Amino acid sequence: MTAGKVPEVDVTAPGAPTRRRRRLVVLLAVFGPGLIAANAGNDAGGVLTYASAGAQFAYRTLFAMVLVTIGLVVVQEMSARLGAYTGEGLVSLIREQFPLRVAAFAVTCLVVANIGLVVSEFAGIGAALELFGISRYLSVPLAAVGIWAAVVLGSYRYVERVFLLLSFVFVAYPIAAALGHPDWTKVATQTALPHFVASHDFLLLVVALIGTTITPYMQLYQAAAVADKGNGPTDYPSVRIDAVAGAIFADLVSMCIIVATAAAIGGHGQLASAKEAATALRPAAGANAEHLFAIGLLGASALAAAVVPLSTAYAIAEAVGVERSVSRKFSEAPLFLGLFSAQVAIGAAIALAPGNLVQLLINMQILNGVITPVILTFILVMANRRSLLGDAVNSPRFRLVGTTCVVVIAAMATLVVVETARTWLGLGS
């Protein structure tokens, strides 16, 4: 049976599924890598960045999130199309399509971005367990050792399922948004029309929203998963639905986090702790809001703390053509397992640095936001190449939309770099 195809079922045969059940089977067959990749953005960094947006600027970032969603749809669709029509992952394509030095620069950016993500995941673990009264100086090292052992010793798949189940508690945010009695007029108005704030903090937060929503790891996963699943050009219509619907669904959840937090503590300023972010779940969870939030944050953080460094190790091992498998010993896959181990160690170490864990986490999303336009440029250039995609190349209209997205994101990232440099030099606030 061709990958991605749904087998025909004789609805007249005894015991055949009803039409409704058949539609469900078709729906489940369509959704896959796109939904998973997009929802990966709702990890520790995503949840606390969205919550910070609601706490600091109430509903004012919702219009920015609409624009970010458009960008995410465009980028995920291009990544999925590249995977479907070439049968290769992004790193492999970059290695083949660009000169060695340019490809090395792209891979370096991916590594830096993913290390920033790993830091944010361990910061999320520390913030989650602090809600249970456990110091980060105990929880983060123990989590690092546990995650490393789970992956390297081969029991990761079972642990992954537990983490995935724990992270599902964040579906409570849409419920909390509905029960929190937000000002729906403001929600609608500030979603449809820009209500930006002319401040350095607002710019930083919008770039953090870009960095945590359009994360390079998601594009890596999208293209590689489509290729690994065996989806080809004939499967592209369902692949496209998956990529687009996944991006929209994930960002609707993200916007619900902003709305729920804005309704609970909107306008009070920057988040000082994960405990403040947890208050947005009170309409749905009551007195158990903090513990529910902590469980979800722990699951999402631990899952991503394993998956993100693995994706980086896979990508680099793929680029240089060496052994890459968690079932191998260190002597058999030294680069692959060494890269994974180094990322876990570095991420945990930086997350232990003194300071506000929430602010550290948001700073990592800003770093991602600065690196994101570099990766998007590579994706856009490859999706524009007829020699690579043939008739599936970007249409003139899609090319315009994609270029506009990349240019706008790059301009905002440049502004952040300039403003940060001005602050360091004492030339601005």
3-state SS class at 317 = helix
For 171-174, which contacts have Cβ atoms below 8 Å and span 24 or more sequence positions?
Answer: 171/253, 172/281, 172/284, 172/285, 172/292, 172/296, 173/253, 173/256, 173/257, 173/260, 173/280, 173/281, 173/284, 174/252, 174/253, 174/256
**Tell me, what's the pLDDT at 107?**
85
**Tell me, what's the pLDDT at 137?**
94
180 within 8 A of 221, measured Cβ to Cβ: no
pLDDT tens column, 202-220: 988 998 899 888 888 788 7
315 within 8 A of 91, measured Cβ to Cβ: yes
pLDDT along the chain (429 residues), means of 10: 38 48 46 57 81 92 93 91 88 88 88 87 90 92 91 70 72 85 92 87 89 83 77 86 85 90 85 83 82 85 83 78 70 84 92 84 83 90 93 92 90 82 64
pLDDT tens column, 105-156: 988 888 888 888 899 889 889 989 998 999 999 999 999 999 898 888 766 6
CA angle 317, 320, 322 (to 5 degrees): 55
Q: Which of 83, 21, 31 is nearest to 219 (CA)?
A: 83
60 within 8 A of 190, measured Cβ to Cβ: yes
CA distance 231 to 88: 11
Q: What CATH class is the domain 33-385+394-424?
A: mainly alpha
312 burial (CB, 10 Å; 0-12 / 13-18 / 19+) is buried
Domain boundaries, the chain: 33-385+394-424
pLDDT tens column, 67-115: 999 999 999 899 989 988 998 888 888 988 999 899 889 888 888 888 8
93 within 8 A of 300, measured Cβ to Cβ: no
**Tell me, what's the pLDDT at 423?**
67
124 within 8 A of 48, measured Cβ to Cβ: yes
Q: What is the greatest pairwise CA distance in the chain?
A: 78
CA distance 394 to 165: 38
* Helix 62-86 and helix 236-265, axial crossing angle in degrees, nearest 10: 160
Q: Which of 249, 309, 312 is nearest to 37 (CA)?
A: 249
CA angle 162, 359, 115 (to 5 degrees): 60
CA distance 292 to 257: 14
- CB within 8 A of 404, min separation 6: which ones? none
429 burial (CB, 10 Å; 0-12 / 13-18 / 19+) is exposed
**Tell me, what's the pLDDT at 12?**
41
Could you give the C-alpha distances from 183 to 171, 289, 321, in angstroms and in order? 21, 22, 55
**Tell me, what's the pLDDT at 324?**
67
